[in-house]
Structure formats: structure tokens, C-alpha cells
Amino acid sequence: MTVEKKSAKAKAEPLDRNRIAQVALTLIDEQGIDQLSMRKLGSVLGVEAMALYHYFRNKAELLDGILDIILADVAARLTPDGTSLERVRRTFDALRTIAIEHPHAFLSMVSRRFRTQVALEFYEQLLQLFHQAGLSPEQSGRYYRLMANFTVGAGVAEVGSRAKQPDATPIILENFSAPEEFPRITEVMPFLRMSEIDQIYCSGMDILFAALNLELAKTKTPPVAR
């Protein structure tokens, strides 16, 4: 639903934190995060900007609210079947989709700390899966960070591709060819194209999970039954 359609609907419905954050996310998706302001958001919602401060004290809190609805959407896609590590893998796969579906919001979201109740519960549930798989707290922290960093990097690659952004332009490097001046770039570029991003991401996660499983096998830490 576009900002214009949400505006007509929002003006007829009472405000709440979720509605405000959802409209703000739509605004970011369509116009970019630089265009997000309380004044513009209030205009879309049909209220004065000051009315929004009753729900969010500042723009930082609003961004936290947007992160909450994105994480809630990610959580809603996850299923409880499979092993704990299979569920960890699906969680990170789902987090990567944020960059594909909300490229403008993604770069801001990944720089925010988990500090709201919704975000902390998401974080807790993910770390619980590591715990159930038999990882120690140290291992959980290390592999969480490794996988999170890799997933964020993959997301940045998605955003950098400009595949779903409204101001998309041709990607010069997709068909780069200057073998005399840049031989290494020329020979590697076919393997870095947009068509290869999924395979690169999957291969990287396979490597991380293989290392994790090998480490678990060496320590022979049994899974925690719950």
C-alpha cells in the first residue's frame, strides 16, 4: 500500500504506535530514510507533527518502532519445525530479506541496538536456539556475531545492487570488461553479479554452520532438552 493510500486510511483511524511506525516504514520504502520527518509523517497521517510525540519522543524512538514491526514480520514467517540449528539458519535467512524488501530502511536498522521489548524478545529467542543446540554462552556469542555480521554484509550487497530501489540505475560492474587495465576485476566480476548473490550467501552460511557443527562434534556437548 502506497503512502497516499495509507494516508487516506490513516486519517480515518485512530493513531497508535504500530500504525505510525507502519506508515513511516512505507514512507521510507517509497522515498528513502532521508525524507522521513515527523512533519511529513504527520501530514501523511493527517495530524500535526506534535501529535506524534505522544507516541514517540523523537525520531530515534520512531526508528526503534519501525525495527519492531520489521522483526515482528520476520518472526511471523518462522516455523517451529526442524532442529534448533535449522531454525537458526531460517532466522538469519529471514533477516536477510529485510534488505531485499526494505532496502532504504535496512542500512538504518542494522546500526540500531536491540533495546525495545520486541527486539530483546527476538534476540532472546534466537540465542535460546543456540543454547538448545548445545552451544556454550561463549560459542553462542561468537557464532551469533559471525552469522549476524555475514548476514548484514550480504544485506548491504543486496542494497548496493539497487535492485528494488526506485532510483535504480544500470549497474556498471555487471558487465565490466577492461582486461588490460583491470584484469583481476574483469575475470572475477562474472561471479559477483546479482545473479550470484544468493549462491554466495548460501555458500557462506554453509561454511559457518559446517564450522559450528564441527566444533560441537569435537566438544561433544549434548543438546539441551526443553
CATH 1.10.10 holds for 1-57: yes
Summarize pLDDT for 86-114 with one digit per residue, the tens: 999 999 999 999 998 999 999 888 888 88
Asked which of 46-55, 64-73, 153-162, 194-203 is least confident by mean pLDDT, the reply is 153-162
pLDDT above 70 (res 164) = no
pLDDT at position 73 is 94
> What pLDDT score does 1 carry?
59
pLDDT for the residue 169: 47
- The pLDDT of residue 108: 85
Residue labelled with grid coordinates 525495545: 116
**CA torsion sign, 127 to 131 to 137 to 143?**
negative
Q: What is the residue-averaged pLDDT of the chain?
A: 87
List the single range of 11-15, 185-189, 200-204 with lowest mean pLDDT.
11-15
| Percent with pLDDT over 90 in the chain | 68
pLDDT of residue 10: 47
In this structure, which long-range contacts are made by residues 41-46, counting pairs with CB atoms below 8 Å and at least 24 apart in sequence? 43/7, 44/3, 44/6, 44/7, 44/10, 45/7, 45/10, 45/11, 45/15, 45/19, 45/20, 46/7, 46/10, 46/11
For domain 81-219, the CATH class is mainly alpha
pLDDT in tens, 137-152: 999 999 999 999 999 9
Instruction: Point out the least confidently predicted range of 34-48, 165-179, 195-209.
Output: 165-179
Which residue type, as a one-letter code, is found at position 166? Answer: P
Domain positions in the chain = 1-57, 81-219
